[in-house]
Chains A and B, each alone.
Chain A
Amino acid sequence: MLPRVATGLRVAIAEDSVLLREGIARLLADAGFDVIATCGDADQLRAEIRVTLPDVVIVDIRLPPTHTDEGLRAAIDLRAAHPGLAVLVLSQYVEVGLAMQLLADSAAGVGYLLKDRISDVPSFVAALRRVAAGGSAIDPAIVSTLLSRRRRDDPLAALTPREREVLELMAEGTSNQGIADRLTITLRAAEKYVSSIFTKLGIPTTRSESRRVLAVLLFLRS
């Protein structure tokens, strides 16, 4: 067999269910990713990454041996050890607190998605590409939990329904172009919504989209 030529982004997968691991690997190969490693636990993943550094790592939050937070800890460690490495964490539950632990002080190259999202292949592949390119992908469930939170003197009440939609997409890590595509509006219109939201909520504006994600999440969480 001829050595495989890397045609796309290089991915490593850590997932203890063989069924899912192989399923994700096949899906990504179909989508043109180069799956360089599939691992059953966090230690194996660390060992693989010492040999070949991938562009992005997909890691299940619940891994052997204790099936508690091994995956999350591995993701946080890897991000600290390899600043350029993008990490997408998958889980059967999503928690605001865990998202914040994972992001720490930067949302660049971080994703945290419910496992169910994999089956929407185009969205999942888009999210993975975004994370690999230094963007972010925060699960809609986390964003909606934060948005639905009851507040006294709710500042979100000042937003129009359209602005709320834009805010939601921003918090999930969608770029201005992505927002424009999703809402079928012009890029310019999307930018206008974004700056209006920032003004209404009193969030300091930033040009970096990944920094924008963290700022919005912190605002919603406070």
Chain B
Amino acid sequence: MSSNTASLLPRETASPESKRGWLQSWLSSEHPFPWLFPAAALMVVFGIYPLLYALTLSLYKKNAATRKMVFDIDHNWTKILFDDRVWNAIFNTFIYTGVALVFQLVLGMLIALLLDSDRRGYGVLRALMTLPLVIPPAVTAMMFLLMLNGSFGVLSRGMIAMGLLPVGFSVLGDASTAMAGVLLAEIWQWTPFMVLIMLAGLRSLPKEPFEAAAIDGANAFQAFFKLTLPMMSKVIAIAVLIRGIDLFRAFDYVKVMTDSGPGTATETLTSYAGRIYFGNADFPYASTVALLTLIIVIVLSSAFMKIFKVKL
């Protein structure tokens, strides 16, 4: 007992730790725990816990009449298989992701090649090119909603004047063209993302192989396909991965521009989940559809990362 107090006393009076404040002493140790804890806590409380909650929720069946939740392990997951709207949403999500990705990739590469120059003024053009990236997507959606308006939208009027559309045609109001209208906003806003990344890739390429190829008489096309593309493959893969993930969970443009309509013409997985949630308040089913989105994203992105050997 006495030895205990003896050993405690000098430490308490002599130790500077207690005077330096808890944060400093907490972080003075070599142990990584205090450094990692805040971010981990944020992830667990606001990410992992809700995710597990969603998983549990998907195992319940909501009785529409009594509003009671009954444990029914496969009700929602079977329902998904036979829900035509889910398959329609999956189809739309893949169309949306695929078309946007191809356009953004090809346009991004072409524009990057065009703007990759040290001539005067190109720096300004490159800076201007980044501006669409930071507009709130909900605002972009509104911009295109205005420009595609059938009776006074500037883009619609332009296309009508060129004879591409019949007079008064509403691009977003027609089931056959609504998806194209939404994609136009998506492609406009995020092509600059690809441009920026491709420009960074192009600028980091070594000069020597191109000089050697030029001496050997290779033309610009050969140099692009034989040298530029292979050397840029890692950059392209990263860009596709990041963009693909974002595209797959697209919500803003669809919600604002068409609200998944007309009918279900532009309904994606995310927007369908949102519609179930706001529409019939079937939370278990909304969760299940949302989880399905997550599962597809995980499967596709891990397959992509394996096949193309990308690591973020």
A and B co-occur in one complex: no
A residues sitting closer than 8 Å to B (CB atoms) are: none
B residues sitting closer than 8 Å to A (CB atoms) are: none
